Amino acid sequence: MIWKKNVYDTLVECATVCDEYATECSRQQDIEELYRCIFLSLDCSDLCRQVAMLYVRGSENTRLVAKTCIEVCEKCAEECERMSLERACQIASVCRQCIRVCMTILDMTSRPERESEISRTLFDALGRQEMLYN
């Protein structure tokens, strides 16, 4: 799988904003009404972070977890949109971007015909970086 930084960045951004949103919601007065949103945001965050890690590792299981991530991001986005608050709509938008990225992962080939100088696995890039600094 060819590693693309923007895919990783989008997954990590979704994980981060969903974590932050769950924390924000847990501080509200009407927390009982926000339980589903809090738990979906935390689930979304966990899955996005896991897909990001599998993706940069080049794991053969990336697509499997990305499929689940799509479903959970969709639920999270729908729940946030249902709330119709400005912040919730921002979270839903980030989740929708993450869904598109996960769909891109599903469309990627597992063995690229030709790997470019710029596109490579994170471990390959890290290995080369260590060589430069040592």
Longest CA–CA separation in the chain, Å: 55
CA atoms within 13 A of residue 41's CA, in its CB half-sphere: 27
What's the Cα-to-Cα distance from 76 to each of 6, 22, 48, 86, 111, rounded to whole Å? 22, 11, 12, 15, 32
What residue has token string 């990001």? Answer: 52
Q: Where are the beta strands (DSSP E) in the chain?
A: none
Give the CATH number of domain 5-133. Answer: 1.20.1270.360
| Residue 65 predicted with pLDDT over 80 | yes
Domain boundaries, the chain: 5-133
Helix axes 86-107, 62-83, angle to 10 degrees: 160
Residue 24 φ then ψ, to 5°: -60, -45
What residue has token string 């890690």? Answer: 53
Select from 40, 39, 48, 92 the least CA-distant residue to 70. 48
Q: Considering only 49-58, 94-103, 116-125, which range has the smallest mean pLDDT?
A: 116-125
Q: Considering only 31-35, 93-97, 106-110, which range has the smallest mean pLDDT?
A: 106-110
Average pLDDT across the chain, whole number: 85
Which amino acid belongs to residue 103? M
| Residue 53 predicted with pLDDT over 80 | yes
| Residue 71 predicted with pLDDT over 80 | yes
